[in-house]
């Protein structure tokens, strides 16, 4: 491979026709600079598989603010600073800033040892306190109200001598949303690198002691069983079983409309009432599961849009009728996990190695509840509530004539929303008219068109010169990206087959179904092969239907790999470009033993 010429330089990326003005959507500090051509960037398709709207740029800005602060400034990781990001044609590219000077590394290491050591030594207590802090943040974001701006302010402003009118709270409450989002992300990344660090140590030990151990087998020894991310799917199974028991199962059929089903349940007497009560109970918090990873406003939660859970229910109901609906066999999984760990331990050559194995695995199991559970609290529960609050502000702007629909607020950058709200606050106080409608409506319309145009752009997996060695721990831990991955991306471009990590064993042939978003999982037919950018827990129900899974991004820790293993189906992850090279309808072979997906024949166009 010609390393220097493998990927285009940032400056060589041209504008997409119809989206020439894309730069207006994002802040100046997200633009590629001329000197950025000297550095290696990779497309963060794991978190940003689609072009991002102006508001959603916050889901790059804030997380990188937080993770960089935690690695570079709080824990002082010795060899890595933070992650820089740039946006081009709506896609987020990132690079990590390494520390290379040995003296500097040693200096940082002193700080790091003390601080990281404190967290590891007190992990359980700190994680317990973390849960309190994060649920407190969730309560705060849920309770934020958007002022209604009536003709006359509430009497209490006078009777309690509050002295502050409603319009003040427009911006204060909006700022609180943004500030809470920032705080949430700081907590999100508080334990993250330390957690993954413990895993990487154990992983590398296993790979050295057992050179042929599959990645997913290492993960199986570590993975928790009582992971909250499995709860939403478990709740659906419970509801399916209840539907059969309460005699309302006939209402759940393929393609059913949630609103109509709910209506019908209301008229089905005691059984229907019981089911509806159980649904309400399951919804908080378990339906606060995003249909994505919390990085796009349009990834609604199950609570916002019952389509996704209701698409899964007919199948579960059918299984429940046949008595074949099983919840995760947690006891069996636990025994199996212990058996695997004990057997590998037994295969180690010396007592010293066994003792080191015990230490590393033990530490992993201490840190893993955080690694697994934080996603539900942060990316799902908090984030879906956050987007809903912003949507409420969208409704206010819509009521004030600044926007056409509440949803349009996501076409504005968070700093532009600040302006729009100032406009509204002023207009209400002066009795004038907000001027934002004239200003923002054409901008919103143009941006929507640009996002459509950008959707068809195929972003290269990486930009710039490939460095001699790519061993940044952050990049490796969070994205599974190493020099080998990058070479595989470069290779994959010359070849008909798509290659990636062999994530779950087995070989299966079938018809591909390429889905860019979990919102489309209703299209998946029984026995198809799912090809997607990345999967998240909300994709869970689809695994009951498909024969194999293929993703653009993902490694050892990826959701698709773990779930595919549990379902016993082949999976190839981290392909870099499967969604680009494979089209729905094509017949493909997924070789989960070797990590290769081959297109066998084109399906009917």
Residue ranges that bind other proteins, judged by CB under 8 A: 77-79, 99, 102, 105-106, 109, 112-113, 116-117, 120-121, 194, 197-198, 200-201, 204-205, 208-214, 217, 220, 339-340, 343-344, 347, 349-350, 352-353, 355-360, 362-363, 473, 505, 593-594
Least distance in Å: CB of 107 to other proteins?
9
Q: Would you say 4 or 121 has its CB closer to other proteins? A: 121
Q: Would you say 174 or 205 has its CB closer to other proteins? A: 205
Q: Would you say 204 or 245 has its CB closer to other proteins? A: 204
Question: Taking a C-beta distance cutoff of 8 angstroms, is the pair 205, 165 a contact?
Answer: no
DSSP 74: I
Handedness of CA 474, 479, 485, 486 (dihedral sign): negative
Least distance in Å: CB of 513 to other proteins?
26
Least distance in Å: CB of 105 to other proteins?
4
Least distance in Å: CB of 74 to other proteins?
14
Least distance in Å: CB of 466 to other proteins?
21
Can you list the positions of beta strands (E) in 406-558? 462-463, 498-499, 501-504, 507-514, 529-532, 548-551
Least distance in Å: CB of 578 to other proteins?
22
Question: Taking a C-beta distance cutoff of 8 angstroms, is the pair 46, 59 a contact?
Answer: no
Least distance in Å: CB of 549 to other proteins?
17
Which 3 state secondary structure label does DSSP give 323?
Answer: coil
Q: Would you say 71 or 385 has its CB closer to other proteins? A: 71
Q: Would you say 99 or 425 has its CB closer to other proteins? A: 99
Least distance in Å: CB of 93 to other proteins?
25
No. of helices (H) and no. of strands (E), the chain: 20, 12
Query: Which candidate, 93, 66, 105, 102, places its Cα nearest to that of 82?
Result: 66
Burial of 299 (0-12, 13-18, 19+ CB in 10 A): buried
Query: Which candidate, 470, 482, 573, 373, places its Cα nearest to that of 100?
Result: 470
Handedness of CA 584, 589, 591, 594 (dihedral sign): negative
The separation between the first and the last C-alpha atoms of the chain, rounded to the nearest angstrom, is 34
Sheet with 529-532, strands from edge to edge, namely 498-499, 596-601, 587-591, 507-514, 529-532, 548-551, 571-573, 501-504
Can you name the residues that pair with 93 across neighbouring β-strands? 43, 86
Least distance in Å: CB of 164 to other proteins?
49
Cα angle 291, 572, 345 (rounded to 5 degrees) comes to: 105
Three state DSSP letters for 467-478: CCCCCCHHHHHH
Least distance in Å: CB of 369 to other proteins?
16
Handedness of CA 143, 537, 238, 272 (dihedral sign): positive
State the Cα–Cα distance between residues 224 and 371, nearest whole angstrom.
10
DSSP string covering 375-406? HIIIIIIIHHHHHHHHHHHHHHHHHTTS-SSG
Q: Would you say 76 or 546 has its CB closer to other proteins? A: 76
Pairing relationship of beta strands 498-499 and 501-504 according to DSSP bridges: unpaired
Q: Would you say 77 or 381 has its CB closer to other proteins? A: 77
Question: CA distances (Å), 305 to each of 215, 302, 315, in order?
Answer: 35, 5, 19
Q: Which tokens is 35 given? A: 């000197």
Q: Would you say 9 or 201 has its CB closer to other proteins? A: 201
Q: Would you say 450 or 573 has its CB closer to other proteins? A: 573
Helix (H) or strand (E) holding 66: helix 58-68
Q: Would you say 120 or 169 has its CB closer to other proteins? A: 120
Least distance in Å: CB of 472 to other proteins?
11
Least distance in Å: CB of 108 to other proteins?
8
Least distance in Å: CB of 352 to other proteins?
5
Q: Would you say 169 or 210 has its CB closer to other proteins? A: 210
> Residues, the chain, total?
605
Q: What sections of 456-577 are H helices per DSSP?
A: 473-479, 483-492, 559-567
Q: Which tokens is 524 given? A: 């998946």
Least distance in Å: CB of 148 to other proteins?
51
Q: Would you say 195 or 510 has its CB closer to other proteins? A: 195
Q: Would you say 119 or 169 has its CB closer to other proteins? A: 119
Which 3 state secondary structure label does DSSP give 34?
Answer: helix
Q: Would you say 201 or 435 has its CB closer to other proteins? A: 201
């Amino acid at each position: 491979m010609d390393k220097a010429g493998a990927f285009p330089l940032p400056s060589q990326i041209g504008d997409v026709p119809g989206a020439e003005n894309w730069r207006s959507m994002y802040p100046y500090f997200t633009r590629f600079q001329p000197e950025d051509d000297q550095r290696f960037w990779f497309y963060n398709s794991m978190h940003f598989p689609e072009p991002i709207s102006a508001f959603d740029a916050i889901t790059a800005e804030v997380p990188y603010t937080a993770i960089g602060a935690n690695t570079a400034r709080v824990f002082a990781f010795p060899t890595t600073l933070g992650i820089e990001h740039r946006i081009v044609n709506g896609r987020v590219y990132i690079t990590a800033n390494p520390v290379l000077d040995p003296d500097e590394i040693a200096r940082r290491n002193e700080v790091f040892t003390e601080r990281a050591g404190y967290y590891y030594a007190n992990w359980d207590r700190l994680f317990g306190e973390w849960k309190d802090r994060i649920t407190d943040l969730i309560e705060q974001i849920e309770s934020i109200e958007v002022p209604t701006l009536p003709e006359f302010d509430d009497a209490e402003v006078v009777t309690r001598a509050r002295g502050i009118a409603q319009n003040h709270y427009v911006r204060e409450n909006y700022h609180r949303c943004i500030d809470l989002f920032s705080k949430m992300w700081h907590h999100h990344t508080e334990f993250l690198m330390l957690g993954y660090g413990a895993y990487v140590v154990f992983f590398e030990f296993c790979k050295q002691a057992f050179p042929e151990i599959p990645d997913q087998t290492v993960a199986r020894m570590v993975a928790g069983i009582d992971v909250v991310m499995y709860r939403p799917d478990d709740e659906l199974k419970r509801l399916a079983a209840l539907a059969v028991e309460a005699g309302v199962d006939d209402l759940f059929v393929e393609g059913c409309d949630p609103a109509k089903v709910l209506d019908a349940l209301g008229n089905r007497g005691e059984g229907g009432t019981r089911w509806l009560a159980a649904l309400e109970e399951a919804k908080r918090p378990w339906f606060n599961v995003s249909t994505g990873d919390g990085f796009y406003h349009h990834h609604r939660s199950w609570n916002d849009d019952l389509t996704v859970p209701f698409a899964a229910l007919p199948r579960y109901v059918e299984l429940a009728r046949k008595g074949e609906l099983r919840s995760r066999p947690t006891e069996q999984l636990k025994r199996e996990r212990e058996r695997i760990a004990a057997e590998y331990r037994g295969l180690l050559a010396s007592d010293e190695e066994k003792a080191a194995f015990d230490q590393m695995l033990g530490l992993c199991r201490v840190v893993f509840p955080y690694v697994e559970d934080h996603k539900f609290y942060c990316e799902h529960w908090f984030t879906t509530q956050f987007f809903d609050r912003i949507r409420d502000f969208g409704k206010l702007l819509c009521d004030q004539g600044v926007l056409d629909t509440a949803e349009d607020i996501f076409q504005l950058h968070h700093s532009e929303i600040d302006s729009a709200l100032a406009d509204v606050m002023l207009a209400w106080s002066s009795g004038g008219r907000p001027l934002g409608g004239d200003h923002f409506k054409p901008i919103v319309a143009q941006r929507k068109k640009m996002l459509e145009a950008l959707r068809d752009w195929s972003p290269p997996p990486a930009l710039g010169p490939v460095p001699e060695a790519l061993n940044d721990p952050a990049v490796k831990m969070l994205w599974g990206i190493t020099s080998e991955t990058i070479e595989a991306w470069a290779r994959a471009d010359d070849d008909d087959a798509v290659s990636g990590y062999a994530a779950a064993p087995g070989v299966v042939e079938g018809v591909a179904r390429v889905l860019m978003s979990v919102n489309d999982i209703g299209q998946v037919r029984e026995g198809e092969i799912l090809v997607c950018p990345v999967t998240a827990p909300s994709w869970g129900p689809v695994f009951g239907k498909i024969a194999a899974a293929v993703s653009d991004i993902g490694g050892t820790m990826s959701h698709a790999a773990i779930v595919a293993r549990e379902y016993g189906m082949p999976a190839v992850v981290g392909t870099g470009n499967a969604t680009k090279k494979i089209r729905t309808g094509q017949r493909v072979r997924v070789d989960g033993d070797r990590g290769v997906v081959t297109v066998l024949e084109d399906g009917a166009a």
